[in-house]
Amino acid sequence: MKNQQGFTIWFTGLPCCGKTTIATQVALILKEKKYMVERLDGDIIRQGFTNDLGFTKKDRNENIKRVTFIAKMLTRNNVVVLASFVSPYKKQRRKARKEIKNFIEVYVRCPVKICMKRDVKGMYQQALEGKIKHFTGVDDPYEEPEHPELIVDTDIESVEESVNKVLQKIEELGYISR
C-alpha cells in the first residue's frame, strides 16, 4: 500500500453517460499502482445500503446524503473514493463538496439521445412510456455542474481518453504520481 492521501472523485451525469465505465477503469489502474481504492456506484449502493429509497427528489437527496457520509469517512481514512451517481441536483453536489475533504467533481457529459442508445436495461424507454417515474433526463431534471474540476465528453471521447483525462487531472492536483 502506498502512503496516500484520501480523495473523492465524484462522477456525475445522466443515466448511461459512462460514469461507471470510466470509474471502473480508473479504479483498476489505481489499484494496479497499489492505491487503496473504493468504488461507490449508484446501482450497487441502491441494492443494499439505500434500497429503502425511491427516486423522488426527497429520496434522491437522502441517497446522496448517505453516500456523502460514506465517502467522507473513507476519504478521511486515506482511501481513494470513486463515486459514480447521477446526483442530478446542484445543491446536493455542493453539500457533498463541502463535507468531503479533497473532492473532485467530474462531469460525465453526454447528450440524452446518446445515453438512450446506450441504455441496455431499457430504462429510458420505460420512462418515456410512463412506467418509470422521476427518471432523470426524461421527466426529472439534471442540473449540470457549474464548476466541475473536469468535464469528459463521452459522446466524442473514447473510454481510454476519458480515463486518461481523469488520471491527468488527479496527477495535476497532486493526489497521485504516475
Indicate which residues carry an active-site annotation. Answer: 87
Measure the CA angle with vertex 107, ends 103 and 108; round to 5°: 130
And the C-alpha cell for 45? 449502493
Grid cell 462531469 is found at 107
Three-state SS for 56-105 is CHHHHHHHHHHHHHHHHHHHHCCCEEEEECCCCCHHHHHHHHHHCCCEEE
